[in-house]
Amino acid sequence: MKFNSAIIISLLTLLLGFFFDQPYLWIPLSVFGAGFIDLFTRRWIVSDRIGAMQKLSMISKSFFALIGFYAMIGQVICIGLIIWWFVF
């Protein structure tokens, strides 16, 4: 299994926050979950395949694309959280 950068960055942030007893650990945990979901759904989202239930397929593709977007933005948030924990 090939991990994406959202999983790696959020896991490192989660471990740093856990070992140094920092607040807001739900942020890297949620980004980790979104990255994990994105890992398994990205190939289906970018494909042109649509099943017989087109509306449901497009709604679910949009939902999983939104989760992938959160994972992408969450990487930046996790890096900012590390800076906030240890600099400020």
Q: Report pLDDT digits (tens) over 36-74.
A: 999 999 999 999 988 889 999 999 999 999 999 999 999
Measure the CA–CA gap between 57 and 67, rounded to whole angstroms. 15
Helix (H) or strand (E) holding 31: helix 26-46
The residue type of 51 is G
pLDDT of residue 41: 95
Q: Which domain holds residue 9?
A: 5-87
pLDDT of residue 2: 80
pLDDT of residue 49: 87
pLDDT band at 1 (very low <50, low <70, confident <90, very high): low
Residues in the chain: 88
Tens-digit pLDDT profile for residues 7-31: 999 999 999 999 999 999 999 999 9
Helix (H) or strand (E) holding 13: helix 5-19
**Count of alpha carbons within 13 angstroms of residue 38, beta-carbon side:** 22
Domains in the chain: how many in total?
1
Helix (H) or strand (E) holding 17: helix 5-19
